[in-house]
């Protein structure tokens, strides 16, 4: 029997319109959550477009001494936080009056609040947090494919751009193409999938939480909610643990055979540098695992098109082009890709998030 309450999905829409509304609902929701025993707030400089500060708002639900912790993360990729917030808000409605003594839930709302507020995947420095978890004391990784494609990616002429990219795909294959574009690059702060040159806000926040809540000493189920890649409406359970590792075995045991591994080529995601996952893998005990719950929307080519359009636009007009007449249309295109307004998509997402969360809790407590 699931630990969390399985009421029918509420008719009300859990998906916020923008970051500021999400934050208000999240803080209000926590206020009326009896199991919320501690809150942590990690601000970043700047403001959201309607005004109001930018914060990663974290909450510890349950006993501080719990030996088992479910960690739910939303907004690692800024704009994808619209769905992360919906999943977190829905979780609050499903909590029993009291969690078992051995269980706590750590909720991380808006890990990249600037990107969330300004409708981007990356943060204010242009950093894709999910490429930022590398060892910056070592030489930065090279991505020769990205260097080769950089001029084409920023070409405003769509036909010419698509021709160069198609040629690259024919020559090197789809996987090599996706690694070149999205695998991570460390040379171009205005380009997509830039990993940064130092730890970003989101990484420092995660490292602080791991330290302060002594997460290395507890059993962990981590779920990082993303959108924009994979089959429309489906929530893919992506496991970036090494295929023969204890983490991958745990993920298969908890989530079943449908769990996909980029390293084995079974995922809609390709292997990547600097994932958030790696910080957690490094501290995890046996019978713990990290998964990305990736909700598909439109095809991968649309993802690249809309992201490149965003990067070209901000390279020309600044990262907060609030007064530019073409900005609203860009925001609409980004939102259409990362958080479709289709009610069927949204209810499928929440239902799937519930299923995956229940499996995580069942596995964690087994
Ligand atoms: Zn993402």
pLDDT at 359 over 60: yes
CA of 102 to the centre of ligand 1 (A): 31
d(CA 220, CA 68) in angstroms, rounded, equals: 6
Q: What confidence score (pLDDT) does residue 1 get?
A: 61
Average pLDDT score over residue span 338-352: 95
CA of 1 to the centre of ligand 1 (A): 31
CA of 227 to the centre of ligand 1 (A): 6
| Pick from 236, 338, 247: nearest CA to 292 | 236
CA of 147 to the centre of ligand 1 (A): 22
User: Does 182 or 74 have the greater pLDDT score?
Assistant: 74
Instruction: Enter the tokens of residue 292.
Output: 């990305």
CA of 98 to the centre of ligand 1 (A): 32
Q: Could you count the other beta carbons within 10 Å of the beta carbon of residue 56?
A: 26
* Domain boundaries, given as residue ranges, for the chain: 19-133+194-300+336-365
CATH code at 19-133+194-300+336-365 = 3.40.630.10
- How sure is the predictor about 12, in pLDDT bands with cuts at 50, 70 and 90? low
User: Does 271 or 98 have the greater pLDDT score?
Assistant: 98
Q: What confidence score (pLDDT) does residue 301 get?
A: 85
CA of 225 to the centre of ligand 1 (A): 8
User: Mind listing the pLDDT tens digit for each residue in 261-294?
Assistant: 999 999 988 888 899 999 999 999 989 999 999 9
User: Mind listing the pLDDT tens digit for each residue in 200-214?
Assistant: 999 999 999 999 999
Which residue's structure tokens are 């030489």?
139
Q: Report if pTM > 0.75.
A: yes
Q: Which residues lie closer than 8 Å to 239 by C-beta, 6 or more apart?
A: 247, 248, 251, 252, 255, 259, 260, 261, 289, 290, 291, 292
- How sure is the predictor about 8, in pLDDT bands with cuts at 50, 70 and 90? confident
d(CA 225, CA 295) in angstroms, rounded, equals: 8
Half-sphere exposure of 252 (CA within 13 A, CB side): 12
CA of 30 to the centre of ligand 1 (A): 25
CA of 294 to the centre of ligand 1 (A): 7
CA of 3 to the centre of ligand 1 (A): 28
CA of 326 to the centre of ligand 1 (A): 24
CA of 111 to the centre of ligand 1 (A): 12
d(CA 39, CA 99) in angstroms, rounded, equals: 17
> Could you say which DSSP state residue 142 is in?
P
Instruction: Enter the tokens of residue 35.
Output: 């199991």
CA of 79 to the centre of ligand 1 (A): 9
Beta bridge partners of 222: 71, 290
CA of 306 to the centre of ligand 1 (A): 14
The chain-wide mean pLDDT, for the chain, equals: 95
């Amino acid at each position: 029997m699931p630990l969390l309450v399985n009421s029918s999905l509420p008719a009300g829409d859990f998906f916020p319109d923008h970051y500021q509304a999400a934050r208000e609902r999240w803080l209000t929701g926590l206020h009326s959550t009896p199991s919320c025993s501690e809150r942590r707030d990690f601000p970043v400089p700047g403001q959201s477009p309607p005004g109001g500060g930018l914060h990663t708002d974290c909450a510890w639900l349950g006993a501080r001494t719990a030996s088992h912790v479910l960690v739910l993360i939303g907004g690692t990729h800024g704009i994808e936080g619209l769905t992360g917030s919906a999943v977190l808000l829905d979780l609050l409605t499903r909590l029993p009056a009291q969690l078992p003594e051995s269980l706590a839930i750590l909720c991380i709302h808006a890990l990249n609040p600037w990107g969330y507020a300004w409708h981007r995947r990356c943060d204010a420095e242009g950093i894709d947090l999910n490429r930022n978890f590398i060892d910056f004391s070592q030489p930065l990784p090279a991505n020769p494919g990205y260097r080769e494609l950089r001029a084409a990616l920023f070409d405003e002429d769509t036909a010419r751009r698509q021709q160069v990219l198609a040629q690259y795909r024919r020559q090197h294959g789809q996987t090599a193409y996706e690694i070149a574009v999205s695998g991570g690059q460390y040379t171009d702060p205005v380009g997509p999938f830039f990993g940064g040159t130092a730890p970003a806000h989101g990484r420092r926040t995660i490292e602080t939480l791991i330290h302060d809540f002594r997460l290395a000493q507890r059993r962990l189920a981590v779920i990082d909610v993303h959108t924009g890649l994979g089959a429309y409406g489906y929530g893919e359970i992506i496991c970036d643990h090494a295929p023969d590792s204890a983490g991958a075995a745990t993920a298969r045991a908890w989530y079943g055979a449908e769990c996909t591994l980029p390293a084995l080529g079974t995922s809609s995601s390709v292997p990547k540098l600097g994932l958030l996952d790696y910080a957690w893998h490094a501290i995890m005990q046996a019978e713990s695992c990290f998964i990305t719950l990736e909700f598909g929307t439109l095809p991968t080519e649309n993802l690249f098109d809309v992201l490149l359009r965003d990067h070209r636009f901000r390279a020309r007009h600044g990262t907060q082009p609030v007064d530019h007449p073409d900005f609203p249309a860009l925001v609409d295109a980004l939102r259409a890709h990362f958080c479709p307004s289709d009610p069927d998509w949204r209810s499928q997402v929440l239902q799937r998030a519930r299923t995956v969360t229940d499996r995580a809790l069942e596995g964690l407590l087994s």
